Amino acid sequence: MTHVREHRSLLASAEKQLLVAIARRLPPWISSDQLTLLGLVSMPAAGLAFAGLQSSPWSAALFALALAANWFGDSLDGTLARVRQQPRPNYGYYVDHVIDLAGTAALIAGMAASGLMHPLIAIALLAAYLLVSAETYLATHAVGVFRLSFAGIGPTELRILLAVGAAYVSWHPWADIAGRRVLLLDVSAIIACIGLVIVFILSAIRNTRALYLAEPLPDSGSPVRQALRQPLCP
């Protein structure tokens, strides 16, 4: 599939240089598929680590380590293929995003199982994420632009925020809001849901407008419109 990758996150430029430098130094026996597999297994590991935040003081560190492994595998597999001039654009696009969907579901399941987030709020968060993901994949096909970031936040920045947030809520799980004691992760997830829905709406409006302008209706007096108005039989 031919499309343009648009990545404008805060760390995108520095991250790209780092990934290319790492890819050029990897030994030949490491393949893109092995890195993809690392990205696949690391997200369920992150979910399990998050689920144990309340029971083990080491879970936050394990969670950060799993996210780092996911970054290494998920971000580097495509870069390695391009550096070695072995691109498989359709295969890579499909497999990477299937893994992303499964990995995010595993991660949010771990959040729901941790006792630090209400399961219904976790379901809402997953639904909002899937809504944005579906719109992004549709836009990639219809508009030809694959956007990896919104408001300066991309996958790498999100991993950093998740690692910091997990470490914080493992020690401070509660917050007082308007005189009520609520789980901090519930509040964060609700804010994230609202943000994702806003991203979905704005992206849908922008892409619908772009496609409408790119494919205008034929003029009422055009030969095409006149031909469509002719009866099928004489």
- Give the pLDDT of residue 110: 97
Q: Which two tokens stand for residue 128?
A: 């909002």
Strand ranges (E), the chain: 4-6, 145-147, 174-177, 180-183
Give 189's pLDDT tier (boundaries 50, 70, 90): very high
- Is 159 part of a structural domain of the chain? yes
The SS3 call for residue 150 is strand
- Is 165 part of a structural domain of the chain? yes
Q: What percent of the chain has pLDDT over 90?
A: 81
**Contact present, 2 and 149 (Cβ < 8 Å):** no
Question: How much is the mean pLDDT over the chain?
Answer: 92
H/E segment holding residue 132: helix 119-142
- Is 149 part of a structural domain of the chain? no
Number of domains into which the chain is organized? 1
Instruction: Say which residue the tokens 């199982």 belong to.
Output: 113
Phi, then psi, of 12 in degrees rounded to 5 = -60, -45
- Is 226 part of a structural domain of the chain? no
- Is 185 part of a structural domain of the chain? yes
H/E segment holding residue 156: helix 155-171
Nearest to 78 by CA among 20, 134, 154: 20
End-to-end C-alpha distance for the chain, whole angstroms: 44
Give 152's pLDDT tier (boundaries 50, 70, 90): confident
- Give the pLDDT of residue 219: 67
Query: Which residues span the domain enclosing 137?
Result: 4-142+155-216
- Give the pLDDT of residue 34: 97
Q: Which two tokens stand for residue 195?
A: 């943000």
Residue 221: pLDDT above 60?
Answer: no
CB neighbours of residue 189 within 10 Å: 23
- Give the pLDDT of residue 229: 55
**Contact present, 115 and 54 (Cβ < 8 Å):** yes
pTM of the model: 0.90
Chain centroid to Cα 135, Å, comes to 12
- Is 234 part of a structural domain of the chain? no
H/E segment holding residue 23: helix 12-25
CATH code of the domain containing 195? 1.20.120.1760
Nearest to 83 by CA among 156, 17, 3, 2: 17
pLDDT tens digit string along 124-151? 999 999 999 999 999 999 999 998 888 8
- Is 147 part of a structural domain of the chain? no
Give 169's pLDDT tier (boundaries 50, 70, 90): very high
